Structure 1
Amino acid sequence: MGLFIIGDVHGCLYTYIKLMEHWDPKTETLIQLGDLIDRGNHSSQCIKLAFELQSTFKDQAIFLRGNHEQMMIEYLNETNNHLNWLNNGGVETLQEFKQKEVDPFFYLGWIKSLPLTWHNDHVMVSHAGFSVMSEDPFDVRDTNGLLWNRKPLLNIGKTQVIGHTPRLNGKPEYSAASNSWNIDTGAYRNICLTGIRMRKDGKFLEAISVPTDERDLTKEKVF
């Protein structure tokens, strides 16, 4: 099976659906690298769609945890710095859940089960990547860990695929030094959502970018 890896969706449901039209479940494993929620207009529906896709396709549809899912978990569990989410899109996301009559607690167990990585012998996918500065990359509170890192990446001997830090030119970026791809192309910034197609041995095949659908954003949420 090949790989089809999608970057940060951030509530951009209609853009997400358009990009998903390029996924072939017969020949590819789908991997979404976190941050399904916040910023865009349709966080609850993005969660619902991901939940249903994984329920239908099982191991062929993989969803990872991003820092925004982590903030949501901490808010709903009232743990650690749980109020941080409200300042990072959580207020609007909660309002949207309420408006759509979707109970976020219904999906909480599933969100908490989302892994931090997907990998095989050649490819490592995570939200923010293995940093040169992280003492424990799997610590969900480590600012240089797999959920929060914005520092240069380590070359770990596999092709890393990450998101988290938007490429404002709308193009996925490859770093030869770390053998890594950043595929966050700023969907919530009204740029585009990107997926990359790879062979399971890490060979890059193509990038597919879909411009952000205007229904996914309001002017106030683009910054």
Structure 2
Amino acid sequence: MSSALAVIGDVHGRYDLLARMLDSRHLHGRHVVLVGDVIDRGPDSAKVLDLVCELVDGWPSGATLLRGNHEQALLDFLSTGKAAAFLRNGGMHTVASYYTAVPTNVLAAFRQDLPEAHRTVLKSSATHLESDGFLVSHMGYDPSDPAARDLKAMVLDAHFDLFGAPPELQKLTVCGHYVQRGGQPYVTDSLICVDTGCGTFPDAPLSAVLLPERTIVQVEPEG
């Protein structure tokens, strides 16, 4: 894996912004990391997952999809058929992105119709990416158990204590999930949150941080 990374924040179905981000010259030669929550809320989750599949298979410097709580809710729905958490997260926007006409019993149809490539890339998503100098995961880490790297700590449980408290981990943490409503990433010496509301708010940008430089790159919605 390249030592130069581009960690992209929550996409939430905004294919247009993700495509433009990936076209940025700033990402050339870097390993791309998607911090999770690429689906739901926005209009084009199906196209986003098509693009993620292309990235994982063919980005020149490699690409990693990290799992967010939205991906986990979809995987749980596919496995069990229980839709409550998936729908609560905005999953019907994801379902709708696969159809031009709504089929009868759309949720059951969606469980059958989801392309195998999309299932595979979701199932193979990693809980975190870590080196001696950084930890990247959707939720950051649990300050009460800094060594935990399980699904609960990395993907499912929110850790609001990360913000404004002395760091428990002696390396840079990069995360998504915690929407920065001002449209700018949260940046301190020990923590960077790159969820700036893309797909959650219509006028919110998609943000990325370049490592090791810690340079922020943003793509604004057009219009």
State the Cα deviation string for residues 94-123 of structure 1 (Å, max 9, x = none).
122233999325121321110011122111
> In 2, distance between residues paired with 1:100 and 1:46?
20
Q: Which runs of 5+ in 1 are unaligned?
A: 215-223
CA contact (8 A) 1:187 1:211 kept: no
* Cα offset, 1:175, TM superposition: 3.1
CA deviation profile, 1:12-41 (whole Å, cap 9, x unmatched):
010111111225665211111111100000
2:66 is the counterpart of 1:56: no
- For residue 136 of structure 2, what is the aligned residue in structure 1? 125
Match of 1:217 in 2: none
Give the C-alpha shift of residue 174 in structure 1.
1.6
Q: CA RMSD in A?
A: 2.5
2:141–2:159 Cα contact (<8 Å) kept: no
TM-score by length of 2: 0.82
Q: Residues 64-103 of structure 1, C-alpha deviation per residue, up to 9 Å, x if partnerless?
A: 1111000000001117x64211121112211222339993
Match of residue 88 from structure 2:
87
C-alpha distance 136-156 of structure 1, shift in aligned 2 (>3 A): closer
User: Which residue matches 1:109?
Assistant: 120
Letter paired with 2:50 = K
Q: Which amino acid aligns with 1:71?
A: A
**Percent pairwise identity:** 25
SS of the residue 1:181 aligns to:
strand
Letter of the 1:104 counterpart: L
Give the total of aligned pairs.
204
* CA spacing shift, 1:167–1:98, aligned 2, 3 Å: same
Q: Which runs of 5+ in 2 are unaligned?
A: 103-109
Whether the 8 Å CA contact 2:5–2:30 is kept in 1: the answer is yes
> For 2:49 and 2:124, how far apart are their aligned partners in 1?
13
User: How far apart are 1:60 and its partner, in Å?
Assistant: 1.3
Pick the aligned partner of 2:209 from 196, 200, 203: 196
